[in-house]
Structure 1
Amino acid sequence: MQWTDVLATRNSRMKASEIRELLKLLDQPDIISFAGGIPDPALFPTETFAKAFENAMSPEHAATALQYSVSEGYKPLREWIVGEMAKIGVPCDVDNIFITSGSQQALDYLGKLLISPGDTAMVTWPTYLGALGAFNAYEPRYARLDPFSNAEPATLQAEAAASSGGAGKVKFSYLSADFANPTGESLSQAGREAVLDQAEALGIAVIEDAAYQSLRFDGEPVPPIMALDIARNGGIENTRTIYCGSFSKTLAPGLRVGWVCAAKDVIGRLVLMKQAADLHSPTLSQMATNYVARAIFDQHVAKIKSVYSGRRDRMLAALDREMPAGVTFTRPEGGMFIWVTVDEAINCAELLARAVAEQRVAFVPGGAFYADGSRLNSLRLSYSCANDAQIDEGIARIGRLLRA
């Protein structure tokens, strides 16, 4: 069988994730890894989850936990999310919430919902690699999201049409406004308003990836784009923003529980996709997440923020101390990442190969986060799973390599 003869054309757009491949390095104990942007498993609330699963498997709840369920998601969990969304300026009801198998599934569904082959997705430059992977299967063209651009909406739409033989349109803007993966940077309120201005002028949707929103260490909170959209338009049913949330960075990623908050018309269409794909996210995971969230969410998030902020500070101090002249890096107010830019002559993919072979330290090369694969002189560091000694030694090793 020659499988290449029967594969869909979209397969040429599907590539292995550099991050998923790099995670294999974590199995090598002598490597100091700043590669995986993953939570520290030592911080998982394991005891509370043990009680949650015991409760879900009790005679009172087991039939619900193990049976088929509605595609929208476990209602008590959706009700809890409604309360949390209200706290950040997004009043909604349970029918505006849709549970997904992690926010990654939400991005896949939104790509399927919005992108026809040749359509344009506007993304930040750089942007989350997983979003590019999710959208790539639907064969989009990418354009740089610059909310302060002077480009006329008609020009942007004309460029989208010209690139696809006249059929393509700009469909949405995608961004993470808080502590973005990979840069760690946040968008100001003025920038968020500008994203909405541009989207309104273009007549497109805004996908707000809020995976790290709860992990603010410093500074004043900025309203989510969804909250600003509601303030402009009088209610969630009038908004163009689609908010993607996740428990992966706050409680635990292995349960694969995320959510979408949007107008009911959007939610209804996503529900149809889930019915055709996996019917519903695992009810047992949703029930456990609901139990843990109601029991300890605020205090647990405060705990992990305290740990991660200390590691961020340690890494920034090490970078200040060890990086050679000309190297720049971001100073995030939260999240899990620091973005480093080095001399333009350095290819960080090649640098990684040397870093692993010569210094036994790992990071993620920055080129993978650009839709066009450009800007090879950048790299992403994650501090979430490294202790103080590893941070000091690992950054010193990268510094030695760069100086060499």
Structure 2
Amino acid sequence: MSTQMQADTTGALAAGHGLDWPHLFATRAERMKASEIRELLKLLDQPDVISFAGGIPDPALFPAEAFGAALRSALTGDTKGAALQYSVSEGYKPLRDWLVTRMGSLGIACTADNIMITSGSQQALDYLGKLFLSKGDTALVGWPTYLGALQAFNAYEPNYDRLTPLGNRSAGDYRETAQAMGGKVKFAYASADFANPTGETLPESARTRILELAEALDIAVIEDAAYQSLRYDGDEVPPLLALDIKRSGAIDNTRTIYCGSFSKTLAPGLRVGWVCAAKPVVSKLVLMKQAADLHSATLNQMAIHTVASEGFSAQVAKIKATYQARRDAMLDALARHMPEGVSWTRPDGGMFIWVTLPEQFDGAALLAESIRRERVAFVPGRAFFADGSGANTIRLSFSCASEAMIEEGIKRLGRVVRGG
């Protein structure tokens, strides 16, 4: 190569041109895919689109004034130095103490040492994937399941098997299937209350079966409790971790890892969640936290603590009343506007209704047609299945649409389905 060609090549690489980046990426990068939901959220900026896509809280319900006062207080008193300083990886102690009381109200007796604050429960899922999964191991998940969990786990190159808590598959069958794929079963992941995307809740019998299966396989259970506070109808069902404690005697004897979040109750933008689990698990997660981002933002934790301490119950009551009315409006509109052959879930809480269309439908194609013809958005269901199945399903979120918008949007969507 001539001196000039070498100079040109060096200059191009220095300018960021011509480098073959993919061959430098780890193999796990091949499993990192864009979220269909995150892309669809861009539609929220288009005022003529009625969106049932984003499973996000209504910003009109955020306790903004309370957070403003909490942030001013944290930055003006004796705490201002601590609010802006590095802190411990476990999390802000007063917030962890508040969570001890909160968990106790759910039947989960624990101490602050059983709790670590995370940057949203999504970070907890990423850490748990990293903690448990070696390449080729198997995670048991719902079919469908939360897309964000699949994205978090995918980076660690697992296989997936279908978690069927009310089915008749034996622990031996799960074990043999995992071994045939070159690894071990490491955990069962379940969103037990008002799951994303289906809105369904696992009955206590199914939760007990998951714990029995986990004991037989000697695996962990990851309980995603992001929507646990948003119950509108029916009786409370004990969390998996509460049932595990009842079986094992104490939290440090349990195999269930509870992932909680303030995103659906107080504010998602502050990115504050938590993990509650046996101390050996929390200790490992703390080491991961130290290596990843040292600690979650102290100022945000302080603000969450103040607002939660002063008005968590009142805030939850407010959002439940609003979301329940919207859920009811959507269920009523579906009953009136959807053609025969379409079915849907009837959730007792949460933010989602899961719609199953006749088998010839494809949710992605229906979405394109719906936006083009009727300016209505939703999430195609295929993204929630680890094997890419479920093409004839869609997820509707009612949290960010008024009752009038829900009525008009479902009427429009019904026209698209009838024409499909």
Q: TM-score range by the shorter chain?
A: over 0.9
Q: Work out whether 1:72 is the aligned partner of 2:90.
A: yes
Deviation, structure 1 residue 153: 1.7
Q: What is the alpha-carbon distance in structure 2 between the residues aligned to residue 29 and residue 248 of structure 1? A: 25
Query: Could you report, residue by residue, the CA deviation over 1:155-194 in whole angstroms, capped at 9, with x for unpaired residues?
Result: 2112111112xxx000000010000000000000001001
Return the match for 1:216 from 231, 234, 237.
231
User: Can you list the C-alpha shifts for 1:266-322, whole angstroms capped at 9, x where unaligned?
Assistant: 000000001000000000000000000001100110010000000000000000000
Opposite residue 108 of structure 1, the aligned amino acid is D
How far apart are the structure 2 equivalents of 1:300 and 1:152? 43
Tell me how far 1:148 sits from its aligned partner: 2.7
User: TM-score w.r.t. structure 2 length?
Assistant: 0.95
SS in 1 for 2:76: coil
Which residue matches 2:383?
368
SS at match of 1:391: helix
Aligned equivalents of 1:228, 1:152: Cα separation in 2 = 21
Q: Distance in 2 between matches of 1:236 and 1:7?
A: 40
| Matching residue's letter, 2:74 | A
Question: Which residue pairs with 2:132 in the alignment?
Answer: 114
Equivalents in 2 of 1:372, 1:193: separation in Å?
Answer: 26
Partner in structure 2 of residue 390 of structure 1 = 405
- Structure 1 equivalent of residue 150 of structure 2: 132
RMSD (Å) for aligned C-alpha atoms:
0.6
Q: TM-score, normalising length from structure 1?
A: 0.99
Q: Residue in 1 aligned with 2:178?
A: 160
- In the alignment, is residue 172 of structure 1 matched against residue 187 of structure 2? yes
1:324 equivalent in structure 2? 339
Do structure 1's residue 55 and structure 2's residue 54 form an aligned pair? no
Counterpart secondary structure, 1:42? helix
Match of 1:20 in 2: 38
Letter of the 1:392 partner, please give it: E
CA distance in 1, matches of 2:228, 2:173: 33
Identity among equivalent pairs (%): 66
Match of 1:191 among 183, 189, 206: 206
Which residue of structure 1 lines up, in the alignment, with residue 267 of structure 2?
A: 252
> 2: distance between equivalents of 1:72 and 1:299?
28
- Once the two structures are superposed, residues 47-101 of structure 1 have per-residue CA deviations (whole angstroms, 9 ceiling, x without a partner) of 1001000111013111000000000000000000000000000000000000000
Deviates more, 1:1-10 or 1:101-110: 1-10
Rounded to whole Å, the distance in 1 between the matches of 2:305 and 2:98 is 7
Match runs of 1:351-366 below 5 Å:
351-366=366-381
- State the shift of 1:345 in Å: 0.3
Partner of 1:96: 114
CA apart distance, 1:45: 0.3
The separation in 2 between residues aligned to 1:193 and 1:224, in whole angstroms, is: 10
Q: 1:123 aligns to what?
A: 141
Larger radius of gyration: 2
Aligned partners of 2:155 and 2:356: how far apart in 1?
Answer: 30
Counterparts in 2 of 1:219-368, with a 5 A limit? 219-368=234-383
Q: CA deviation at 1:202?
A: 0.7
**Deviations 1:223-275, CA, capped at 9 Å, x for gaps:** 00000000000000000000000000000000000000000000000000010
Q: List structure 1 segments (4+ residues) > 3 angstroms apart after TM superposition.
A: none
Q: Which residue of structure 1 aligns with residue 63 of structure 2?
A: 45
CA distance in 2, matches of 1:4, 1:253: 33
The number of residue pairs the alignment matches comes to 401
What secondary structure is seen at the aligned counterpart in 1 of 2:303? helix
| 1:152 CA displacement | 2.6
SS in 1 for 2:179: helix
In structure 2, what is the Cα distance between the partners aligned to 1:151 and 1:94?
37
Q: Within 2, Cα distance between the matches of 1:369 and 1:81?
A: 30
Kindly provide the amino acid, as one letter, of the partner of residue 46 in structure 1.
A
Task: Tell me the amino acid that sits aligned with residue 22 of structure 2.
Answer: T
Matched, 1:378 2:389: no
